[in-house]
Amino acid sequence: RDGILWAVEVKTQTNTLNARSKMQTIRVLKDTVERHSREQTVRRRKVKAVIGVIRGKSRDSFETYDNPPTDTANPDLDGFCYRYLVGASFWKWLTGRDDISGLFTGIVGGESALLDARSAAISRLKQELNDKLSAAGHGSSISDVMALANSRS
C-alpha cells in the first residue's frame, strides 16, 4: 500500500492483548519489520507494523513502545513504533470500504468457477513472466527476474 510493506498482526478482540501478549506481539512485529527491511529488493521499500484487532470500539493510532526502566528483558523494543487499529478502523484500512458486510456474503454456486478462474490467472501470469524473461534473453532464476525488473525501472 503506497509503496509500504505492512507487517500485520491480527487479533480477534482487544482483551486478547494483555500486557505480556502485547509485548510478545510487538517483538514479533519488530523482528518481521527488521527482517523485511534487510531483504534485497528491486526498489528499497519502507516496512511498517500494524496491530489489527477485528472486534472492538473503533480506534486508529500510532503507538511507540516505551520500555519501563525496571524491564531489563526488552530494551531492544524501546522506541518501536507501530499502528494500532481496532474494529471499523481496521476493516476500513484493510479493505478500503466503510461497510464490509458485502464482503461476507457467500458465493452461491460459483465455487468451481472461482477456483478455475484463479488457476487460469496463475497460469497466465507465469506464462507472461516466462515470455518476458525469454524476450529479454534471461533464464528463469530469481536473479533473472530481478535483472528483468531492474532493466524496466
What per-residue confidence (pLDDT) applies to 10?
Answer: 92
What per-residue confidence (pLDDT) applies to 18?
Answer: 79
CA dist 67 and 36 (Å) reads 24
Query: What residue has cell string 478462474?
Result: 117
β-bridge partners, 130: none
Side chain identity at residue 67, one-letter code: N
β-bridge partners, 47: 5
pLDDT tens across 61-111, in order?
Answer: 999 988 888 878 788 888 999 999 999 999 999 888 887 777 776 666 667
pLDDT tens across 13-30, in order?
Answer: 888 887 778 888 989 999
- Name the pTM for this structure: 0.63
**How buried is residue 26: exposed, middle or buried, by Cβ count under 10 Å (0-12/13-18/19+)?**
buried
What per-residue confidence (pLDDT) applies to 68?
Answer: 82
